Each structure stands twice: as C-alpha cells, then as structure tokens.
Structure 1
Amino acid sequence: MLSTFLNVFFWIIFVYFFLSVLYLFILSVSGKLFYKKGKFAATTPSKRIAVFVPAYKEDGIIVSTANSMLKLDYPRELYDVYILADSFQEETLIELRKIDVEVIEVKFEKSTKAKALNVGFNKIAKEYDIALICDADNVLAKNFLRKVNDAFNANAKAIQGQRVAKNMDTSYAILDSCSEGINNHIFRKGTNAVGLASAVIGSGMAFEYNTVKKVLSEIHAVGGFDRPLQIKIVEQRIKIEYLEDALIFDEKVDSLQAFQQQRKRWLSSQFVYMKQFFFPGIKQLLKGNVSYFNLAIANNLVLPRAYLILLLPLLVVITFFLNSGWFVYFLITGILYFVTLAVALPIVLVNKKLFNAILKMPEAVIAMIMTAFQMKNANKTFIHTVHTKTEVSNTLYNQGTE
C-alpha cells in the first residue's frame, strides 16, 4: 500500500518537475542557437517617443535619472521625458522643473505604477508614436531610443529592452544580476527564438502609444502591473520583440532584506495572475494564440528558481535513500536543470566575483522559500524598493552608456 502510494506520489512530482525543466531547457537552448540579434536595420530617427518615469518617493535619485534621459543619442525634438512624481519633496520638484523634463504630480491613497501611468497618459495632449516605460532608477544606453525607433520602423508594436545591472557592488546585487540575466535569456530571448512573444520586465519596455494607453486604462493592479499588461498586449496578437542590443541599466538589490521583499512581490503576482488568466489562457490556446498561453500559464506554472534549486537536489537525496528507482529520473532532471541555467547565464557575468557571491546562495534560497509564508496581501499592498544609486558602476556593460 505504502509502496503504491509512493510510486503515485513520485510519478506526479516527477512529471511536473521534468516538464518544467524540459520547457526551460528548450527555451534556453533555443535562445542560444536561434535568436537573431540585430534583426532590425538601422533607420533614420522618425518616431516621436514619450518616455514615462513613474517614481514614488525617489527624491535621492530622480534628478540624476532625469538628466541622464536628456543625454540620449536621439533628436531632442522627437522625444519628451515625463516624470510622474508621487509623494516627492517640494525641493525635488523645484529641481526637476529647472531641467527640460515634464513633471506631472500624482498622489493616491494607495500608490501604484499603473495609476501613475494612467494619470500621465490622461494629462498629455501631445501626440506620440511610442510610449517607453522606465523606472526611476533606470539609466538608458545612449542608443536605446534609436534601437526602439529601428524596431518600430520595421513594424514592431511592442518591445522589451535588455535590462542589466546598474551596480554589482554586493553579493546580492551579483546574484540578482545573474537571475535577471538568466530570465532575459529564457523568457525573452528564448521565447522570441521559438516565435513567441517575449515576456516584459516592468521597465525598459516600449509600446505603440495609443495601444498601451488603452490597455493601461483597463489595468488596476497594485503589484506586478506588467503581467496583465503583457497579457492584454498579446491578446491582440501583438508580438513583443526582445531587443538584446538595447540596454537599460537597473539598480540591483544590495541586501538580503531587499532581495526578500522584492521576491515576495514577484512571487505573489505570479500566482495571482496565473489564477486570474488560467482559463482565458486555455481559451486563447484553443484559438491558436500560443503566446497568450505561454505568458499566462506556462511561464507561471514553473516554480521560481530558488525553489527548483532547493527541491530538485532534495528529491534526488530522498529517492536515493529510499532505494527508489525514481532516483535516476530525478538525478537526470536535476542535471538537465543545472545545464539549462549554465546555458542561460550570460558568459560576461562569469567571473571571480560570481563564485564569491555563490557562497550567499543558500541564504538567498532560504529567504526566497520563506517568502511563501509571507505572501498574504502582498499583491494588495504597494511594496516599494528603495533606490540609491545614481551612476552605472557595472563596467561589464558600461559601453552601452558611452
């Protein structure tokens, strides 16, 4: 009886983990072999671009961010920068108004990026071709807008740039950078390589202006607004293109507490939106919209990386000591998963600092596991990540800002 129960249990567990790992492996290898970099030819700047920077209590960095946005290699008359200033100090607002950016003050009982963006869209009377959404800590590579212009001149309707680390000054920042690099490869580069829409990241993403204005007006998310945004975009059969050569620098968390808070928000939104879009995802799959199914269901069915890193080796050990025939199956699955990560990890990030940072991985994995017990109301509460870095200190990618 017990033997039968264990066999059924391990069969269910194995099928789930193996299919999850196989899915990730296929995308990882596809990103390495089939993604076409530089697929959009250089064109003359012509698209009018509105750069939106929703910012909540970012007094320490926003002036620096705004100034960096004005130094891009793109005709100044073709783009405007809109700072959506939520709960800023008066001195900060005065400084912002001294430079050539548009400041739109917003204030809410419960602040969210979606609310700030909707206010911004509703207050802007000028016409644009493209809306680019950034975070308050972001620094765009000087050629970023040119890359976006090239893609839209080739009839792209939505793009996600490559977000890389602004700083790699602590072990947690390095681990965070590696995690994002792997996600970029699998969920953006890999999905594009197999013909599907890229996932977005919440910043460094650009859309056809009127399309995203309408879509955002229907979104009232507190956390993870980019998840319903991408779903509603691909519902219209719009393919989100991943631009690996369009760099956007993003501040990485530098402490265990910040790492845990950020992951709590991400984990909560993953499960909330999988539940919300599960049945619509099945319906869209039956209609042939595989990108919708992939973003709504397949992406979200896979456990976060920390859980897989912990659970797969644990299952290997358990099945080994049980003298179970399942040992070999879980061992192969575990090896395949770590091969997947090795293929997806950008080679530029492999250095001595990474090996030192790996020593912090057990602590980071435990912190990630603990977030599962702290998710109550996480997606109903605005969780703000504090930013302090005003300069790009990551020399691995600095050529993008020069």
Structure 2
Amino acid sequence: MLENFIHILYWLFFSYFAASIIYLFVLALGGRLFYKNLNSYTSDIQKYRKVAILVPAYKEDEIILSTANNLLALNYPKDSFNVFIIADSFRAETIAELRQLPLQVIEVSFDKSTKTKALNVAFSTIREPFDVALICDADNMLAPDFLQKLNSAFENGNKAIQGRRVAKNLDSSFAILDACSEAINNNIFRKGNNGLGLSSAVIGSGMAFDYERVKQILLSINAVGGFDKILQLEVVGDGTSIRYLDDALVFDEKVSSAQAFQQQRKRWLSSQFVYFKQFFLPAIKKLFKGNFSYFNLAIPCNLVLPRAFLLALLPLFAIISFFVVRQWGIWSSGLFLLYMITLAIALPRKLVNKQFVSALLSAPKAVLLMVLAVFHIRKANKTFIHTIHTKKEITNVQFQDKIR
C-alpha cells in the first residue's frame, strides 16, 4: 500500500515538473528561433499617433523628477505626446517642482492605494483625445526612440504593445539576479509567446494600448496587486494580440536588497496564485472557442512555478528519487539538465560575465527568500506593497549606446 502511494506521488510530481519544463523549453526555443521573423516595423510613418504617457506614482519623491525629465526628452513630436504624473502621497515641494515642467500633474489620495485607482482617476480627469495610452512605473526611463518604435508598431495595425524592460542598474548581486530573471522571462513569456503565434504576456509597465479600449477595461478592474494580469486577459479576450517589441527599451530599477527582493516576489507570487484560480474556468471556455492566447496566459503561465523555485526543487527531487528508485533519480536528473538548458537558451549572452558569476553566490539566498515569501502570499494580494526606488540615472553600461 505504501509502495503504491510512493509510486503515485512520484509520478504526480514528475509529470508536473516535466510538463512545466517542456513548456518553458518550447517557449525558450520559440523566442530564440522564431521571434525575429514576426516583427518588421516600417519607417515610413503616415501618422504620429497622440500618446498619453501615464505614470502612477506612490511616494516617489526621490526619483520622479528624473523620470519626468527623461520622458519629456523623448525623440517624438512634442505636440504628439503628453506626460501625466499621477501623484499619490507626494510632498508639497515635489508637486511644486513637477508643476514647473511641461507636463500634467494629477494629485490623488486613497485609503488603500492601487495603480488601478490612480489610472482610473487619470482617465476620468483627462479631457484631450489620445490614440494610445502608455503605462509606465515611476522608476521607468525610456530609450529616446521608444515612442517612435511604439508608433511604428501601431502603424502596422497592432493595438497592444509590451516594450522590453531591462535593468536600469546592475549595482548589486540581487540587482543582477533580478535583471537575469527578467531577461529570461522576456525571452520565454514575451518573445517565445509571439514566436509561436501567441500573445505576449505584459510586465506591468512599458505597456501601451488603444487609449479608449484600455480606459474602458480599467473601469472594470478592482485589483490591489497584479492588475496587469487581469488587463492582459481582458485585452486578448476579444482576440487582440499583445505584441512584444524587443528593441523598444524600458529601463526599470532592479532591487538592491534582500528585503526588497522578497517583498517584490511576494507580490508576484500572490497575483499568480490568485488569478490562476479566478480565471481557470473562463480560460477553459476560451480554449474551446479557439482563443489559445487567453488560455496560455491564464493557466500555463500561472501554473508554472517561478524559475527560482524550479532551480531549488528539481535537484532536491532528483536526490530523493535516487534513494527510492535509482532509475527515477536518473529521469529526474534529466529533467534538471533540460531545465538548465532552457535557462541557458533564454538568458542573453551579454549578461553572462564576471559580475554574473559573482552574483550566483547570492542565488541560494534569493531562492530561500522566494520560498519564505510563499508563507506570506495570502495577505499580499489584499495589501498594497510599495517598492522604494532611489536610482535617478541609467547606470547599466550594457545599454549606454541606446540612451545617447
């Protein structure tokens, strides 16, 4: 009886791990082999669409001025874009400085702050007509040509775009690991999805949509964390595909401390778990109607464990399996090898350097923090978790040629 139970338990775990790794491997290959053939954007622009750059910001006094100046300097006709800083709980002197700049400040205050609430206030306040809404975080800086790339994508008929988020800073081991994690996710869930003909997943910032459409969608969203997961499903639910622009760069501040790393992962884990349950049945219905992108973003993307979890659990699973049945250990080790190959395929070569090797020494601590975050995810989706930002400049030397 016990032996049968052990067999069943092993094969349940093995099947789950195998399905997850094969899924990630296929997407990683899709990102490497097929993505480049999908997107050919024209330089023959017929129209410069009017873009509203929306920046919901909560207590971001330290960095908001540098962000605002970066956005105002974008290489795009000045009469074709406006910057809106949605300022939640800012100091009076910061508001005064922002009002000296050629942008619009929308002050907000809530009992429980969320991005969704801030964006909805902005949409209800803005009276000017816009073609595109670009949503950025307060710490985001954009490459000078970002709006040109965005406009070109819309010129080619796209209605939803996700830019490529890269590291603003690489000044600590956790920042390097965070940057590597995002680069891997970009290759798998954005380039990989598009490469295989599916909709890209969004990241929460550096994402742009048809203005009126996203305004309508956000009115129906009341999420504390992970609003972007609901937003992407609403967008693809009607057949719209989200296109990933690998050459449209969004510079995002990477966490520099263990505490910030854990807080951030807690929020991500919580939203992944919550929205998997919420959209499971709707995703099954969409699958039968032929909407594979909706199904993919709602179930497989949320069902797969975070990459750091797999990195910790697979070796442990293989070791235990060896002690039970030697052949099981060999099969499980094969899964771990395939997973390492998947990560190697997805990780950009330029990130593999001396600093990366040094940062790997912090990987066990990062994995442990991820595991500990699991015990706190229940409350994470009910409470707004704010990540403190301090970086006012782009110091990632790997992209210096892209910001001049």
With the shorter chain as reference, the TM-score category is over 0.9
Aligned to 2:363: 361
Letter matched to residue 136 of structure 2: C
Aligned to 2:402: 400
Letter matched to residue 19 of structure 1: A
Aligned to 1:17: 17
3-state SS in 2 of match to 1:203: coil
Aligned to 1:127: 129
Aligned to 1:102: 104
Supply the distance in 2 between the matched residues of 1:398 and 1:123 (Cα, whole angstroms): 37
Supply the distance in 1 between the matched residues of 2:105 and 2:317 (Cα, whole angstroms): 54
Supply the distance in 2 between the matched residues of 1:376 and 1:236 (Cα, whole angstroms): 31
Q: Is the 8 A contact 1:201 1:226 kept in 2?
A: yes
CA deviation after TM superposition for structure 1 residue 126, in Å: 0.5
Letter matched to residue 12 of structure 1: L
Aligned residue among 230, 247, 250 for 1:248 = 250
The CA RMSD over aligned residues, in Å, is 0.9
Aligned to 1:294: 296
3-state SS in 2 of match to 1:178: helix
Letter matched to residue 42 of structure 1: S
CA deviation after TM superposition for structure 1 residue 376, in Å: 2.5
3-state SS in 1 of match to 2:62: coil
Q: Is the 8 A contact 1:112 1:223 kept in 2?
A: yes
Aligned residue among 330, 333, 348 for 1:331 = 333
Q: How does 1:130-209 map to 2 (within 5 A)?
A: 130-209=132-211
Supply the distance in 1 between the matched residues of 2:43 and 2:237 (Cα, whole angstroms): 29
Aligned sequence identity (%): 57
Aligned to 2:218: 216
**1:336-395 deviations in Å (ceiling 9; x for gaps):** 111000000011111000000000000000000000111121101000000000000001
CA deviation after TM superposition for structure 1 residue 195, in Å: 0.3
Supply the distance in 1 between the matched residues of 2:60 and 2:250 (Cα, whole angstroms): 18
Q: How does 1:51-70 map to 2 (within 5 A)?
A: 51-70=53-72
Aligned to 2:85: 83
Letter matched to residue 22 of structure 2: L
3-state SS in 1 of match to 2:148: helix
Q: Is the 8 A contact 1:43 1:153 kept in 2?
A: no
Segment of structure 1 superposing worse, 175-184 or 29-38: 29-38
Aligned to 2:40: 39
Aligned to 2:287: 285
3-state SS in 2 of match to 1:376: helix
Aligned to 2:241: 239
3-state SS in 1 of match to 2:397: coil
Aligned to 1:270: 272
CA deviation after TM superposition for structure 1 residue 3, in Å: 2.0
Supply the distance in 2 between the matched residues of 1:90 and 1:318 (Cα, whole angstroms): 59
Supply the distance in 2 between the matched residues of 1:9 and 1:152 (Cα, whole angstroms): 49
Supply the distance in 2 between the matched residues of 1:399 and 1:129 (Cα, whole angstroms): 30
Segment of structure 1 superposing worse, 31-40 or 199-208: 31-40
Letter matched to residue 368 of structure 2: I
Supply the distance in 1 between the matched residues of 2:111 and 2:324 (Cα, whole angstroms): 55
CA deviation after TM superposition for structure 1 residue 265, in Å: 0.3
| TM-score, normalised with respect to structure 1 | 0.99
CA deviation after TM superposition for structure 1 residue 194, in Å: 0.2
Name stretches of at least 5 consecutive residues in structure 2 with no aligned partner. none
3-state SS in 1 of match to 2:361: helix
CA deviation after TM superposition for structure 1 residue 325, in Å: 2.4
Letter matched to residue 213 of structure 2: T
Aligned residue among 298, 303, 306 for 2:305 = 303
Aligned to 1:28: 28
Supply the distance in 2 between the matched residues of 1:249 and 1:131 (Cα, whole angstroms): 18
Supply the distance in 1 between the matched residues of 2:111 and 2:403 (Cα, whole angstroms): 37
3-state SS in 2 of match to 1:73: coil
Letter matched to residue 300 of structure 2: A
Name stretches of at least 5 consecutive residues in structure 1 with no aligned partner. none
Supply the distance in 2 between the matched residues of 1:227 and 1:43 (Cα, whole angstroms): 34
Supply the distance in 1 between the matched residues of 2:295 and 2:400 (Cα, whole angstroms): 36
Supply the distance in 2 between the matched residues of 1:11 and 1:393 (Cα, whole angstroms): 47
CA deviation after TM superposition for structure 1 residue 398, in Å: 2.0
Letter matched to residue 185 of structure 2: N
Q: Is the 8 A contact 1:164 1:249 kept in 2?
A: yes
Aligned to 1:116: 118
Segment of structure 1 superposing worse, 226-235 or 35-44: 35-44
Supply the distance in 2 between the matched residues of 1:213 and 1:3 (Cα, whole angstroms): 57
3-state SS in 1 of match to 2:49: coil
Supply the distance in 2 between the matched residues of 1:134 and 1:398 (Cα, whole angstroms): 21
CA deviation after TM superposition for structure 1 residue 17, in Å: 0.5
Supply the distance in 1 between the matched residues of 2:186 and 2:157 (Cα, whole angstroms): 23
Supply the distance in 1 between the matched residues of 2:49 and 2:334 (Cα, whole angstroms): 50
Provide closer, same or farther for how the CA distance between residues 121 and 43 of structure 1 changes in structure 2, counting only shifts above 3 A: farther
Supply the distance in 1 between the matched residues of 2:214 and 2:63 (Cα, whole angstroms): 27
Supply the distance in 2 between the matched residues of 1:43 and 1:206 (Cα, whole angstroms): 21
Segment of structure 1 superposing worse, 275-284 or 326-335: 326-335
Supply the distance in 2 between the matched residues of 1:206 and 1:398 (Cα, whole angstroms): 24
Segment of structure 1 superposing worse, 324-333 or 119-128: 324-333
3-state SS in 2 of match to 1:232: helix
Supply the distance in 1 between the matched residues of 2:63 and 2:16 (Cα, whole angstroms): 44
